[in-house]
Amino acid sequence: MTTINWSLIGKRIKHKRLQHNLTQEQLAEYAYTSNIYICRIEKGTANPTLEMLIRLCMVLECSISYIIEGNEIQKYDSNAMDLGVILDGCSPYMVRLVRGIVRSIVDIEGH
Determine if residue 70 is left, alpha or beta; phi over 0 gives left, psi from -120 to 50 gives alpha, anything else beta.
left
Contacts of 46 (CB under 8 A, 6+ apart): 6, 37, 40
For position 56, what pLDDT does the model report?
95
pLDDT tens string, the chain, 111 residues long: the values are: 678 899 999 999 999 999 999 999 999 999 999 999 999 999 999 999 999 999 999 999 888 888 998 876 555 566 766 777 787 788 888 888 888 888 888 777 665
For position 92, what pLDDT does the model report?
84
For position 37, what pLDDT does the model report?
97
H or E element, residue 37: helix 35-43
How open is the CA angle 71-76-77, to the nearest 5 degrees? 145
Domains of the chain in start order, with CATH, are 6-69 (1.10.260.40), 78-110 (no CATH)
Q: Are 42 and 14 in contact (CB under 8 A)?
A: yes
Q: Are 42 and 10 in contact (CB under 8 A)?
A: yes
Question: Is pTM beyond 0.85 here?
Answer: no
